[in-house]
Structure 1
Amino acid sequence: MDDTPIKIWRLAERSFVEFQITEQEKTRSAQPIPKDGTTWFPPPRGMLKVNVDASFNKTSKKAAVAAISSSASSAKAFAIRFGMTFAIKNGLSNVIFESDCLDVVNRIKSKIFSAWESASIEEDILNILLSYQSFSLVYASRICNGPAYWVAKGTLVECCPCDWATFVPQDLKLLL
């Protein structure tokens, strides 16, 4: 048997975390959808939505967006900027970026960058929004941003399959 105890432990840990994420999603999906405008809607005709999210581990300061971050707020801002950079590199236009971090979205929209740990990233996002008139940024509740959360959280705990975009896992399909 060439599996070391550490490999077996990591596999068991990943399976447990994946189970926890699935159970959380079941609980979340069983709850009634709020009637305060937090329901996800498809983008208007001719527009594209890119839902962005990040998962942040307070202990390790590691974010699932392949960055080390000092706070969840800066990880969320980094996820938005990452999504925008992806759109620019791929020549996308008419894109609505959705994030479940209301604080970050509000700071960018108000142009008041009061959170020192994410201020420079938020200013970059504002500059991108000003440069690309066909981009917009809006708040989406965690319920509406479930697929992006699933991928970010799964990546953070190293249980998201590398080929998730090509072969969509059943748990993720349920959120789409």
Structure 2
Amino acid sequence: MTGMVNSVVADWFIGQPCKWNEELLRQFLYEFEVREIIKIPLCSIHEADTLAWAHTKNGIYTVKSGYHFIREQKRLEIGGGEASSNSDIWTKIWRTKLPPKILSFIWRACKGALPCGLNVQKRVSEADPTCQRCLKDNETETHALLGCPFALNLWGKGGMEEMVTEEGVVCSLVAWVERVLRCHRGEEACKCLVLLWASWNYRNAAYHGVLSTEPMLFVEKALSFWVAWKQVQPSEVSSRLVQQERVAWIPPRNGQWKLNVDAAVFGDAGCGLGMVVHDYQGKVERMGVQQVRDKWCPEVAEAMAAEFGLLTAKQMGLDNVVLESDCLTLITMLKSKSFPNNYFGRAGKKVLDLASSFSCICFNFTRRDGNVVAHELAHLVPLDFSTRYWVGSIPERVEPFVVVDSLAIPN
């Protein structure tokens, strides 16, 4: 690091337009530091440095965001990597298609909020924590719902005894639910959670003196309740208040050129940027794809796609352009000229600066199905991390979507 003691950030750039000098970065920094640095998009606009807070969307610090940041850090220090996984499990639970009554029960069970023997003893020291059904072990949520012989009998009656293995019994209830939602999809995962609810109802009946009740009755009652709930739920199509029709691509006015742009994020591999230029008759004038190894977030990638498209339009000599994207956040930012104090805001400023070089330009938002050609170009495979253009020809994968757009143009 000695050779870079008096260096400035610009010393880490290379090329024109400038990019991060990854080879140099790796000589002096750890790999995990390099990965984070190259995610930062470089801006050609010269302006004073500003402080930005990474934990809000607009880059401005708030007490609330600071509190949540410190709280999350403490959770990570205490529980290792479990903090993020626990937050994921709550999201998975509430997104499961089950009656709210059952989801609320699952959430309370995973939070340790059920009045099982051990929890009662924590509040009333004289209480006996022993399971009052098997009289063998202390009654925890896991024991009451999965481990007790009476609970195992219910799972057997429900035809899912294999779900309650020894591994499932010894692990925590949260881990068991997480495994069910991860390894089993749809109806099977839902049935497991419904039987978990039935198991608790069976336990409560025993505690109220109905121990002789056949567990199959609780299985049937719970499954019937679930089926009845599903029957009154609207279908996925009818659940939309207004069923949206496909948005067709619309050509620009005579004398204008429409520039559609989109971006794709390929995880750690990099990003793909797609652009297509049409004239007022709907004819494709040029298509372009730029694949980069930069690891941008989706919003920054959308801004970089807009920059790529505008640079191409400028090279073509176009001067009256409609820039169209399916990223509402980007279009809103460009129209309002209100830029957040973060990487996305810097990338947006660069786009607006480039747009100002056109004599006439406007920004338009469209839904994904009105931007499908640019979308397919952004996702074009294989990835060769280069810049490619098509003039007078169309990639085979994209051609069907060009045809669909052309058929939607009014005569």
TM-score higher than 0.5:
yes
Q: Deviations over 1:26-65 (max 9, x none)?
A: xxxxxxx9359x43211101111111111112x3161113
Change (3 A) 1:115 1:69: farther
> 1:156 offset after TM fit, Å?
6.7
What amino acid does structure 2 have at the position aligned with 1:97?
A: L
Residue in structure 1 matched with residue 244 of structure 2 by the alignment: 34
- Partner SS for 2:317: coil
What amino acid does structure 2 have at the position aligned with 1:56?
A: V
> 1:150 offset after TM fit, Å?
0.6
**Contact 2:265–2:296 at 8 Å: present in 1 too?**
no
* Greater C-alpha Rg: 2
Q: Which stretch shifts more, 102-111 or 164-173? A: 164-173
Rounded Cα–Cα distance in structure 2 between residues aligned with 1:140 and 1:112: 20
In the alignment, which of 247, 250, 253 is matched to residue 44 of structure 1?
253
Rounded Cα–Cα distance in structure 1 between residues aligned with 2:376 and 2:306: 16
> 1:168 offset after TM fit, Å?
2.4
**Contact 1:71–1:117 at 8 Å: present in 2 too?**
no
- Partner SS for 1:41: coil
In the alignment, which of 263, 273, 276 is matched to residue 54 of structure 1?
263
> 1:130 offset after TM fit, Å?
2.9
> 1:167 offset after TM fit, Å?
4.0
- Partner SS for 1:64: strand
Q: TM-score, with normalisation over the residues of structure 1?
A: 0.68
Q: How does 1:130-149 map to 2 (within 5 A)?
A: 130-149=356-375
Residue in structure 2 matched with residue 172 of structure 1 by the alignment: 398
Rounded Cα–Cα distance in structure 2 between residues aligned with 1:130 and 1:50: 15
**Contact 1:56–1:75 at 8 Å: present in 2 too?**
yes
In the alignment, which of 120, 124, 128 is matched to residue 346 of structure 2?
120
What amino acid does structure 2 have at the position aligned with 1:63?
A: C
Q: Deviations over 1:99-133 (max 9, x none)?
A: 11111111111112126122112001122233323
Does residue 1:102 correspond to 2:328, yes or no?
yes
Rounded Cα–Cα distance in structure 2 between residues aligned with 1:130 and 1:136: 10
**Contact 2:331–2:365 at 8 Å: present in 1 too?**
yes
Change (3 A) 1:48 1:118: same
What amino acid does structure 2 have at the position aligned with 1:73?
A: E
Change (3 A) 1:96 1:155: farther
Q: Deviations over 1:51-99 (max 9, x none)?
A: 1111112x31611133314201011000001111111122111111111
Change (3 A) 1:170 1:88: closer
May I ask how many residue pairs the two structures share in their alignment? 139
Does residue 1:63 correspond to 2:271, yes or no?
yes
**Contact 1:95–1:136 at 8 Å: present in 2 too?**
yes
Does residue 1:81 correspond to 2:320, yes or no?
no
Q: TM-score, with normalisation over the residues of structure 2?
A: 0.31
Residue in structure 1 matched with residue 298 of structure 2 by the alignment: 72
- Partner SS for 2:263: coil
Change (3 A) 1:88 1:156: same
Rounded Cα–Cα distance in structure 2 between residues aligned with 1:168 and 1:49: 17
Residue in structure 2 matched with residue 153 of structure 1 by the alignment: 379
Rounded Cα–Cα distance in structure 2 between residues aligned with 1:74 and 1:96: 20
> 1:157 offset after TM fit, Å?
4.5
**Contact 1:64–1:156 at 8 Å: present in 2 too?**
no
Rounded Cα–Cα distance in structure 1 between residues aligned with 2:258 and 2:392: 19
